[in-house]
Each structure stands twice: as structure tokens, then as C-alpha cells.
Amino acid sequence: MMETLDQLFVLLKRWVVGEFPAAWRLWLSPLIDAGAIIGVFAGLFAVTTLLERKGLGRLQNRMGPNRVGPFGVLQPLADGLKMLTKEDIVPRAADRVVHFLAPIAMVTPILLAYAVLPFGRNLVAVDFDAGLLFFFAVGAGTELAVFMAGWSSRNKYSLLGAMRGIAQMISYEVPLVLSAVAVVLVAGSLSLPSIVDSQAGYHWGWLARWHVFTPWGLAGFILFLIAATAESNRSPFDLPEGESEIIAGHLIEYSGFKYALFFLGEYLGLFAVSALGITLFLGGWQAPVPFLAWVPSYLWFGAKLLGCIALFIWLRGTMPRLRTDQLMNFAWKFMLPLVLVNLVVAALWHGTAAWGFFGAGATRWLLGGAVLWLTYSALSHALFTAPGRGPRTYRYAD
């Protein structure tokens, strides 16, 4: 019974496809996958906008939206209607074709990236042998979309925002990919379902074998989260759209449905990269404790995804925005060395996997943790005592 519930969507799809003539099946199966992904994640997008506004409101000691429907739950509907009915303005100087194509170029690659993510046991649209590479490859398309939006608007602020956005995205893509490479090294596969499988099972019957419970996995997960925040342009890395500095960056000249598409793309990107983090480090759809393994796998995945989203909302409500030079220094001088050392630690962890003496696990943990901790403290010491970095002086505020 539980088995059926776990495979509910897989069986449902098989049944629906089986009802059609054989000639259609080849086309129908991917169509169903695509429809399901778009439907589920567009729905999640609507829910997240509400959760974000409510959560930010609570963090800032106010109510958040509470007018439309009971407790404001119909707010996303109202927002959507507003977006759809707004006038679509294109600046006279704008490059019309590129301006029109930019939102499409933003959303399409992100939707493609969902194809390789395993949302549950056997619940993956395409199992590429190089799935992780596919994810990063299509993710690279969004950078061009940001540039298209910024350049085609013919607006100084939007071009500046696009420049900032691209610089930030390529800088943080390096730690993002390298922290994922550590997982590939240990799991021995680029296919996301088999990376999830490599995290199956429990130590001593209770501690899940997720990569996040290893020293390199913990460090890698934290680095991955930071890089993912920057990749999806979210606070504290929302410089490309910093409202107080460059209005809304590459989104200035967009309104109505095109703006809604960008908004959707940004949130879909956030979900996709969170889902990748869950797959790589948090065991994918695996249950955290063995006695809860009967809960359907997609529910675990959804719960972890919601947890990640909550974390991102919390971060947004808590952290102030960085400056551009701080952003670049952080990526190249701090995260890049750390993530390279993390790769070495992962190799060490993998190489010492055969150790069998008593306390081998603790020794490996301490060894890896010590290397990472030493690097971390040395790096932060070097960065904070770098020449020209005296104590902060306030010129105007007292």
C-alpha cells in the first residue's frame, strides 16, 4: 500500500500513457512530465510569494498582506491578475526584439533544468548520465537573458544592473560548481538519481548517510548555499536589483507579464538550485530517520524544499546588502580557495573510506574538519588584516 503511494505519480503517468495509442506515447510521456513540472512549480511560486511576504512581514514586525481572502491567502491571485492586466510598456529606444525575447530566454533554461532533478523515487523526467552537467549548462543560459534584458532596455541603470548581475553570476558559478564536484568525486557519478542512491542507508541504524554529515559535505553545503543565494540574485546578494542603488537593475523597463516572467524565472531558479542542493547534500528524497521511511519520497523532497525556501526568506529578512567589491572579494578570495580545499578534503575522505580500525570515522571527521577549519581561519585572518583594511571609520554618522 505504502509502496503504491510512494510510486503514485509514476504509476499514474504509466496508466495515462498506456491509455493512448502507441504512436502517441513517445510524445505524450515528455509532455506529461513537462506539464507536471510547470504546474507544480508555478503553483509553488504562487505559494512562495505569499509565504515570503508574510514571513518578511513577521520578521519586520508587521502583518504582511491580509486583505485578500482569509489571512490574505488569495494575495497571489490578486498579484497575478494585476500583473496580467497591467500595460505592457516598451521604451521607445529599446531594441524591441531582444526586449521581447529576454524574459523567454530567462524562463526556458530554468524550466529545462528541472528535467534532471529527481523529485522522488523514480520521479525524474530524464535521467542523463551527465545530469549534473546538464543542470549547470542550461543554467548558464540565464546569464545571457540578464544581459539581453539589461542591454535592450537602453537604460543606464538597467545596463549597470545587467553588468553587476553577470559579473556576480559568473563569479559565484565557480564555487557553486566546485562544491558540487566534491559530491561527484565521492558519489562517482554525474547522474542525479545515482547521487541520491549513493546517500541511501543509515550509520548505526539512525544517522542518515547524507553528504551533509561529512566534514566536506557540511562545508560544501554551506558554500553551495551561499553561492546559490548569489546565483539567484537574492538578498544579501541582490546587488543587480538593489532598489536603493540602481532602482531594479535589468528589470527597470519591464512591466506587466514580461516582468512577471522574470519574477517567475527568479523564483524557479531559486527552487531549482535548492532542489539541486537537496539532491547533492541532503539525501534527495531519502527520509532522515529509518522509522519514517514509509512516508512517500516526494513528500520528503517537498518538505526539504520548503525548509530551504524558509531559510532563504529568513536570510532575506536578516542580512544587509553587500557592496560590489565585497561581493567579488568574497567570491574569489574566500570562497574559491575554501572550495578547492574542500575538494581535497573530499578526496581524503574518499581515500580513507577503507579505514577499519576503531574510531576511524571520528578520526576522519576530525582530520577533514581540522583541515577545513584551519583554512577557514587562515583565510579570514588574511582577509581581515589585508593592507588597507583598518578598522571601519564612520565619516558622517557619529
Partner 1 sequence: METAFYVLAAVTVAGAVAAMALPRLVHCTLCLAVAFVGLAGHFLLLGAEFVSFAQVLVYVGAVAILVVFAMLLTRSADAPPAWVVSRPGLLGVGVAVLVFGCLAATVAGSGLAGREAPPAPEVTVKALGERLMAEYVVPLEVVGLLLTAALIGAVILALEDRAKGGT
> Rule CB under 8 A: which residues touch partner 1?
95, 98, 128-130, 133-134, 136-141, 143-144, 147-148, 151, 159, 163, 166, 170, 173, 188-190
Q: Which is nearer to partner 1, 50 or 228 (CB)?
A: 228
Please state the closest distance from residue 66 (CB atom) to partner 1, in A: 43
Comparing CB distances to partner 1, the nearer of 44 and 346 is 346
203 forms beta bridges with 207
Least CB distance to partner 1 at residue 137 (A): 4
Beta carbon of residue 147, minimum distance to partner 1 (angstroms, whole number): 5
- Minimum distance from residue 93 beta carbon to partner 1 (Å): 11
Distance in angstroms (rounded) separating the CA atoms of residues 229 and 270? 8
Q: Using the minimum distance from each CB to partner 1, give the nearer residue, 188 or 290.
A: 188
158 vs 150: CA distance, rounded Å: 5
DSSP state of 323: P
CB 371 → partner 1: shortest distance, Å? 23
In angstroms, the Cα distances linking 139 to 20, 112, 113 are 34, 9, 7
Identify which of 98, 265, 279 has the alpha carbon closest to the alpha carbon of residue 190: 279
Helix, strand, coil in percent for the chain, rounding step 5? 70, 0, 30
Q: Which is nearer to partner 1, 95 or 245 (CB)?
A: 95
For residue 359, what is its C-alpha cell?
Answer: 574510531
The dihedral through the CA atoms of 262, 263, 268, 273 has a sign that is positive
Closest approach of partner 1 to the CB of residue 260, in Å: 23
CB of 181 to partner 1, least distance (A): 12
Smaller CB separation from partner 1, 12 or 170: 170
3-state secondary structure of 208: strand
d(CA 179, CA 174): 9
- Among 269, 110, 118, smallest CA distance to 126 is for 118
How many of the other CB atoms lie within 10 Å of CB of 272?
25
CB of 254 to partner 1, least distance (A): 18
Q: Measured from the CB atom, is 64 or 118 closer to partner 1?
A: 118
Shortest gap between Cβ of 166 and partner 1 (angstroms)? Answer: 6
Which 3 state secondary structure label does DSSP give 17? Answer: helix
Nearest residue (CB) to partner 1, 48 versus 191: 191
CB closer to partner 1, 44 vs 116: 116
Among residues 119 and 147, whose Cβ is nearest to partner 1? 147
The closest alpha carbon to 76, from 60, 56, 54, 58, belongs to 54
The CA distance from 94 to 155, in Å, is 9
Query: In this structure, what are the phi and psi dihedrals at residue 355, rounded to the nearest 5 degrees?
Result: -60, 130
Nearer to partner 1, 72 or 249 (CB): 249
Cα dihedral 129, 132, 135, 139 sign: negative
Nearest Cα to 324, choosing from 158, 167, 212, 177?
167
Tell me the closest approach of the beta carbon of residue 123 to partner 1, in angstroms.
21
CA distances from 345 to 103, 189, 279 (A): 40, 18, 20
